Amino acid sequence: MANIISDETIEYVGILAKLELNEEEKEHAKKDMGSMLDYIDKLNELDVTGVEPMSHVFPVKNVFREDVVTNGDGHEEVLANAPEEKEQSFKVPKTVD
């Protein structure tokens, strides 16, 4: 089933995609788009009777969990290594003028 893609279709798709295509690129795009449509036609020939539609190949489940603090913030231990401290933060030399 050779899908014929018109020059107008390629122009329109180019405008939608904000692409500037030269003539050679347009011809290549026509062939590519035709191949894609041929593949879709081939997929449409498959018998999918009894096959449930899905959005993912693998089952997807909600992976969210409650945040639980297990070790505290540890800021005192971290700041113990600071050469200088200011307002519970590392104090560093100014590097940008």
List per-residue pLDDT tens for the chain, 97 residues long.
567 889 999 999 999 999 999 999 999 999 999 999 999 999 999 998 998 888 888 887 877 888 888 877 788 888 888 888 888 888 888 888 7
pLDDT of residue 23: 93
pTM over 0.85: no
Q: Provide CB contacts within 8 A for 92, sequence distance 6+.
A: 84
Instruction: Look at residue 62 in the predicted model and tell me its pLDDT.
Output: 78
Scan for tokens 């390629």, then name that residue. 10
What pLDDT, on the 0 to 100 scale, is given for residue 40? 93
> Domains in the chain, start-ordered, CATH in brackets?
7-44 (1.10.20)
**What single-letter amino acid sits at 82?**
A
Contact by Cβ (8 Å): 27, 63: no
